[in-house]
Structure 1
Amino acid sequence: MPSMRSLVAVVLDRGSASPAEIVLSARKLCDVVFVCDGSRPDGAEALSAARELAAVCDVTGLTEAEAITAVARLQPDGITTFSEYQLRRTADLAAALDLPFHTPEVADVLTDKLRQRAVVNAAGVDATKCRVITDIDDLPVVLAEIGFPAIVKPRHGAGSTDTYRVRSLAEATAAVGAFFGAADDPRDFVVEEMLVGDPSIAGTEWGDYVSVESVATHGHIRHVCVTGKLPLAWPFRETGMVVPAALPAAWTQSVCDLADAAIRALGIRVGVTHTEIKLTADGPRLIEVNGRMGGYVSELIQRGSGYDLRRAVLEAALGRSVEPPPLTFTGVAYQYLLTAPPGATRLVRLAETSEILAVAGVRDVTVTARPGQPMGWRSGTEGKLGMVRGEATDHTSAAAGIAEIESLWRPVYE
């Protein structure tokens, strides 16, 4: 008789891997069942896509206890999520089913930017000021303590949504007034001191921050890759990534050491993490630790080195020891996110992509935006119009190719 394959329950939502990518990475490793809530944003679409690829456990409308019972009936050998928005729910399911994942307490801290700062600051990992605001009237006192420049962002969230840098009380008041303007959206925000990057460390053509992709199993942390970034678009929108990062060896070690200290301070013992780190004149500084695989990074790492980070997520969920090999990059792989300029409110007409496809090293161009679509900085990285994927022999050639792409991307906006 054929042996029974392991089963991993994947709690599905908007996140860093699609159902098709997850199923592809699970081949020869395990079967997958998607746990889906159709009431979530894009939930009905996710349910439909998941059903075409694997088994589905529909928990729409179920209480927490009913959802636990529904997943327990499947007898999964592991559970995980690729979504920031499902970390806490996945942690609760894992605890109830005695499966390896973040504990509910760790998941709470990972998804709460105020509590995460408090934990890493108390552990001596960093010392970045962070305070909560629940009303616009909190601003004067909080900003008097934090100082300028400062960052205002949601206490819970991902992808730089509603993230804004402020240089004065008037600027902060205008931004926070927009945030708190919707009565049906009662969110807390945090104000943090802004970490000022040094563009000379990675090079002025690259961003002044990086991310460290790590995997933890049984409390043992392995750092898979340091991912370089492109410069941010106003106010805090990502514009792309590159592997390997354009960092001197000493800096690579320093950012990995900082990621290691932060992961340990937060009590993470299992799973893949995505730690963002600012490159400053005073050394690396912690931006935040994300308790799941980072967005877009798995495709980039696999294209650049052949390593499948999504598979590592599934292996960790099964409780297996994951030992990533030292990654070998034969060149430089990049993703360039097509973004709208500051002030654009609506996309009128898309640009032709044929000229971009002709740029040396460009592999493909995917445009997801449509004419008439509203534009705006508040949607953060998710507000991108599309993506260009490419390769180059070295960082200089990659930067030149990206600069050429930027010059050729000319949509019309209002």
Structure 2
Amino acid sequence: MGDSTVLLVYARGGPPPSDAIPKAAAATDRLHLLLLDPLPLPAVAPAARCCASVTDLTADRPEPGELIDRIVALARRTAADAVLTFSEFALLAVAEAAERLGLRGPGPGAARARSKRLMRRTWADAGLPVPRFRYVDSLTDLERAWAELHPPILLKSAWGAGSIGQTVLEQRAQLAGAWRHMLGALTAARARSMSELKAGEAGHELIAEELIPATTESWYDRSGYGDYLSVEGMVVDGVYHPVCITGRLPTVPDFTELGNMAPCVLPEPLQHTVSELSRQAVDALGLGTCGTHTEIKLMADRRLCLLETAARFGGLLLTQQIEAIHGVDLVGALTRAHLGQDPGLPDGLLTGPGRCAAGSVNVLATDSRGRPWTTRPLFLPEAVDWDRLLSPGSGIRVAPDFTVPSGTVMHRYRTGHGSLNLAGVLLLTAPTPQVLLRDSYAVLNGLEEALAGAALAHG
């Protein structure tokens, strides 16, 4: 490994820091940590144990114009050989800091992987399949987009993540209300540190696009899976390495994610078809060295349409799932890649069943069809009788980095607020993908009642 030093910039989003920080530390001699948001409590002790230093800027987080200067200064002070982040919201700042320092990073293409405006334009110019879209900076722009696109249309933030603020517009009368809703949701996201750190006022840029006519027909031979997939991978010195494909549960209005399922159960040739479009999409963005997470919609007759690519790993539990299933530590691989070392990635796309099946289920006050809960139970996962929901051989645990404290009252589900509705994440493991799918639905549709029973048992 040699003598190496890495500066890791932490902000909200990405894999669980209690898991990612030790893995990054194991791939270098010294890991320094810069905090732009407070660490979740489960990550505090691992950070103290693994890091040579922890610089906390959470009380006085720099303004966008100053943030890059602060990262560069700390990297120079610590003699960092690499600077990286796993956060969507810190990606641009860290990418530019790495460029100033002459270090590996996502490069100038990072902006194309963050702004959905630049992303859509880049892919359209490259002849890749994307929905028709329009830039929206005002209510007048939204009205013009409505006239030019074929409704229903989707209004979303060009810099957003986690489906926050997304609204499906089916009638012209909805436009003014949707505009106000979007601005309110973006304000709420900023208050929760779930907004772009470098964009400043550009963080209010919106985009309107036609809905993709997605379907699982011609792709899956069974129901229950969502109509989109994600390809997890990395770019190393400009060369794209797809690692594996992750399935999804269907979303609930307005496109809020319920969870993901891995490994992918599509036949191998179809997985390679999906991976090839991901390769074209990533190559068009012109990235340097970074993780990648490409979301693709499935369409009739085995056609595909691009949703988005991020120049970082998928968030929540994806990196942990991939390690459990395929034995690939993506966090350690990316850290080594930033240091110019062999990341140790697999030779090609992993399409097999792996060691087990693993999925994440998002804890939302809604069932699998998006029907809001009628009660507001306490979240008491330790008191739930999980055996009544799960199949023999399956397991479940709470992801503590992303989950509210036990005893918290579940808040009501709010359409259009995306991941702001999230009360927690559950990691499910099962002997097979089929059992995993069954258990995921059992949890989504049975959790409200199970929490009510848990509260009674808890007294």
* TM-score under structure 2 length normalisation: 0.81
Give runs of aligned pairs for residues 106-121 of structure 1, distance below 5 A. 106-121=109-124
200, 207, 211: which is aligned to 1:190? Answer: 207
State the partner residue of 2:362.
337
326, 337, 341: which is aligned to 1:320? Answer: 341
Q: Quickly say closer, same or farther: Cα 1:160–1:183, change in 2 above 3 A.
A: closer
Q: Is the 8 A contact 1:333 1:391 kept in 2?
A: yes
Offset from partner CA, 1:95-125 (integer Å, 9 cap, x none): 111100022x312222111111001110112
Superposed displacement of residue 90, structure 1: 0.2
Q: Distance in 2 between matches of 1:35 and 1:351?
A: 32
385, 392, 404: which is aligned to 2:442? Answer: 404
Offset from partner CA, 1:216-241 (integer Å, 9 cap, x none): 11222111010111111221111111
State the partner residue of 1:9.
7
Q: Distance in 1 between matches of 2:16 and 2:251?
A: 25
Superposed displacement of residue 145, structure 1: 1.6
State the partner residue of 1:389.
427
Q: Residue type matched to 2:377 in 1?
A: R
Q: Is the 8 A contact 2:123 2:284 kept in 1?
A: yes
Residue 320 of structure 2 corresponds to residue 299 of structure 1: yes
Superposed displacement of residue 94, structure 1: 0.1
Q: Quickly say closer, same or farther: Cα 1:65–1:23, change in 2 above 3 A.
A: closer
Superposed displacement of residue 183, structure 1: 11
Q: Is the 8 A contact 2:124 2:130 kept in 1?
A: yes
The sequence identity of aligned pairs, in percent, is 25
Q: Quickly say closer, same or farther: Cα 1:90–1:357, change in 2 above 3 A.
A: farther
State the partner residue of 1:98.
102
Q: Is the 8 A contact 2:165 2:186 kept in 1?
A: no
Q: Quickly say closer, same or farther: Cα 1:23–1:180, change in 2 above 3 A.
A: closer
Q: 93-102 vs 55-64, which deviates more? A: 55-64
Gaps in structure 1 of 5+ consecutive residues: none
**Equivalent residue of 1:377, what SS?**
coil
Offset from partner CA, 1:371-413 (integer Å, 9 cap, x none): 1646423431342222332233333322222232233211689
Superposed displacement of residue 349, structure 1: 1.4
Offset from partner CA, 1:320-360 (integer Å, 9 cap, x none): 34342254513322222222225759972136652324412
Q: Residue type matched to 1:309 in 2?
A: L
Offset from partner CA, 1:282-310 (integer Å, 9 cap, x none): 51111000010111210111121221111
Q: 379-388 vs 119-128, which deviates more? A: 379-388
Q: Distance in 2 between matches of 1:344 and 1:4?
A: 54
Q: Residue type matched to 1:18 in 2?
A: P
Q: Distance in 1 between matches of 2:326 and 2:123?
A: 32
Q: Distance in 1 between matches of 2:42 and 2:432?
A: 38
**Equivalent residue of 1:84, what SS?**
coil
**Equivalent residue of 1:333, what SS?**
strand
State the partner residue of 2:91.
87
Superposed displacement of residue 280, structure 1: 0.7
Q: Distance in 1 between matches of 2:186 and 2:216?
A: 40
**Equivalent residue of 1:10, what SS?**
strand
Q: Quickly say closer, same or farther: Cα 1:305–1:394, change in 2 above 3 A.
A: same
Q: Residue type matched to 2:54 in 1?
A: V
State the partner residue of 2:310.
290
Q: Is the 8 A contact 1:346 1:372 kept in 2?
A: no
State the partner residue of 1:355.
385
241, 246, 249: which is aligned to 2:265? Answer: 246
Q: Distance in 2 between matches of 1:96 and 1:346?
A: 53
Q: Is the 8 A contact 1:57 1:71 kept in 2?
A: no
Q: Is the 8 A contact 2:373 2:448 kept in 1?
A: no
Q: Distance in 2 between matches of 1:78 and 1:393?
A: 39
| Greater RCO, 1 or 2 (C-alpha within 8 Å, sep 6+) | 2
State the partner residue of 2:198.
none
Gaps in structure 2 of 5+ consecutive residues: 191-200, 453-459
Q: Quickly say closer, same or farther: Cα 1:67–1:252, change in 2 above 3 A.
A: closer
Q: Is the 8 A contact 1:81 1:87 kept in 2?
A: yes
State the partner residue of 2:153.
150
Q: Distance in 2 between matches of 1:233 and 1:388?
A: 18
235, 243, 253: which is aligned to 1:234? Answer: 253
Superposed displacement of residue 181, structure 1: 5.3
Q: Is the 8 A contact 1:355 1:408 kept in 2?
A: no
State the partner residue of 1:141.
144
Q: Is the 8 A contact 1:36 1:47 kept in 2?
A: no
Q: Distance in 1 between matches of 2:428 and 2:183?
A: 40
Q: Quickly say closer, same or farther: Cα 1:148–1:403, change in 2 above 3 A.
A: same
Q: Quickly say closer, same or farther: Cα 1:400–1:22, change in 2 above 3 A.
A: closer
State the partner residue of 2:396.
364
Offset from partner CA, 1:239-272 (integer Å, 9 cap, x none): 1111111212222111101110011100013111
Q: Quickly say closer, same or farther: Cα 1:90–1:352, change in 2 above 3 A.
A: closer
Q: Quickly say closer, same or farther: Cα 1:154–1:45, change in 2 above 3 A.
A: farther
CA RMSD across the alignment? 2.8
**Equivalent residue of 1:180, what SS?**
helix
72, 75, 79: which is aligned to 1:75? Answer: 79
State the partner residue of 1:33.
32
Q: 360-369 vs 195-204, which deviates more? A: 360-369
Q: 299-308 vs 368-377, which deviates more? A: 368-377
* TM-score under structure 1 length normalisation: 0.89
State the partner residue of 1:178.
181
**Equivalent residue of 2:111, what SS?**
helix
Q: Distance in 2 between matches of 1:146 and 1:163?
A: 17
Q: Is the 8 A contact 1:357 1:365 kept in 2?
A: no
